[in-house]
Structure 1
Amino acid sequence: MSFWQPPLQDRNSTRIAVDVTFLRLAPAAPGSAGAGAAAADLFPPGTALVRLEAPTVGFYRYLYNTVGNDYCWWLRRMTPDAELAALLAHPGVGIYVLYAGGEPAGFFELDGRGGQDVNLSYFGLMPGAIGKGLGSRLLQAAIEVARARSSSGVVRVNTCTADHPRAMATYLRAGFAPMRTVREVWDIPEALGLPIPDRLRA
């Protein structure tokens, strides 16, 4: 399956300014609640967390584009298919999909290529799954899987002011601690057709 990409030159764009906060979750203390819990046990009947063994570019783009459409997820939309395929095939990268009623309800992406820590690169629910109590469970599952993949036990994530308004509070409740916040300016190609809130326009 091929995906149209906007041309690399002569591209009209919308400039936005976001505050990006980088967070860190320390290793779980032995015997603490949730330490070593099986991710699969966190979900109600009728749901299942599945790691994609060989994710295709097409299915990944479906997940990424649908989950991130309202939150200005644009970088992976601009990534060429060959580069994205190489990323998805890397053994240090894991794509996990939550299925509910047989269809995707959300996903998360873990990246352990950088060293001992694991980064929660992307995390979110499909629009129709929001508000059903799955978000905090999916995040806890992501944490447990990330800790199992991390030699240090440390999990990192970042969120920004373009994300869901409850994103920061959800990470804080899960135990993440803010490390730093930086202001970033993004030029998002208009050809992507992303809805951009007026509050973010620079």
Structure 2
Amino acid sequence: MDYARPLPGETTERALVTVVFLRMLRTPERPPAIMPPGVMLTRERLSVPDYRRLYNDVGTPWLWWLRRMMPDDQLARHLARPSVSTYVLRVNGQEAGFFETDASHWPFVNLNYFGLKPDYIGRGLGRKFLDAAVDSVFIGGSSQLSGMTVNTCSADHPRALPNYIAAGFTEYRRAREEWDIPTRLGLTVPKHLRG
């Protein structure tokens, strides 16, 4: 991911994060997720500007920065890959969040991104939304599917890890990472992550 490296001499702010890697190896034993009234989830092929807007709206509080660094042409190729699926959550017609899955490491499918816009956090949508993300991989999936993976980190919402575990994911590894985030991206590294 050369695009994720700051330019030579570029001003950056360092974040020290703990990354937690999780996986789910079998279909959860629960009924399929059903969205509440007025809530709709659709699989969509987003344009690069629409994807960037949604990515930034959802991810800015949690230091989502890698896709901000990805050049438009590279992001367009990524989004067009058959292995990549993007689902948009809408509440009464308004965008509330999205998730992205990637089957390029088959027989595992990774949940690359998952999140709600800040105004929709705390409204009781997260668990059903996460269950729907899991269902998008396991329900009607191939018999060769080995499982689903996701990672979260100490920059994410404090409920992210407990929610993934409650949904049926299990932790299998932790790693400490240093992120040098270019200041031109306009992100603020919280005090608890500063190195």
What is the TM-score normalised by the length of structure 2?
0.92
Unaligned segments of structure 2, at least 5 residues: 1-5
SS in 2 for 1:45: coil
Partner of 1:4: none
- Provide the C-alpha distance between the structure 1 equivalents of 2:174 and 2:132, rounded to a whole number of angstroms: 26
Determine the structure 2 residue equivalent to 1:47. 39
Q: Is the 8 A contact 1:119 1:155 kept in 2?
A: yes
Gap regions ≥5 residues in structure 1 = 1-6
Provide Cα deviations, 1:64-117, integer angstroms capped at 9, x if missing partner.
111010111000000000000000000100000000011111100000011111
Q: How many residues align?
A: 188
Deviation above 2 Å: which 4+ runs of structure 1?
7-10, 148-151
3-state SS in 1 of match to 2:27 = coil
- Whether the 8 Å CA contact 2:19–2:176 is kept in 1: the answer is yes
Find 1:181's aligned residue among 174, 179, 194: 174
Report the secondary structure of 2:101's partner residue: strand
Other-structure match for 1:107: 98
Q: Is the 8 A contact 1:49 1:96 kept in 2?
A: yes
Taking a change above 3 Å as real, the CA distance of residues 102 and 120 of structure 1, as seen in their structure-2 partners, is: same
Residues in 2 aligned to 1:191 and 1:17: alpha-carbon distance in whole angstroms: 19
Structure 2 matches for 1:11-50, cutoff 5 A? Answer: 11-28=10-27, 32-34=29-31, 37=32, 39=33, 42-50=34-42
Structure 2 letter corresponding to 1:156 = T
Q: Which residue of 2 aligns with 1:3?
A: none
Aligned with 1:142 (options 129, 133, 140) = 133
Q: Percent identity?
A: 48
Separation of aligned partners in 2, 1:18 and 1:84:
25
Aligned to 1:155: 148
Q: Shift of the alpha carbon at 1:55?
A: 1.4
Q: For residue 10 of structure 1, report the CA deviation from its aligned partner.
A: 3.0
1:193 to 168, 186, 192: 186
Paired residues of 2:106 and 2:145 also in contact (CA < 8 A): no
Q: Kindly state the Cα deviation for residue 129 of structure 1 after the two structures are TM-superposed.
A: 0.5
Q: TM-score, normalised by structure 1?
A: 0.89
CA-CA distance at 1:9 after TM superposition: 3.7
Kept after mapping to 2: 8 A contact 1:28/1:153: no
Structural RMSD (CA) = 1.4
Partner of 1:132: 123
User: How far did 1:153 drift?
Assistant: 4.8
Contact 2:87 2:98 in 1 (8 A): yes
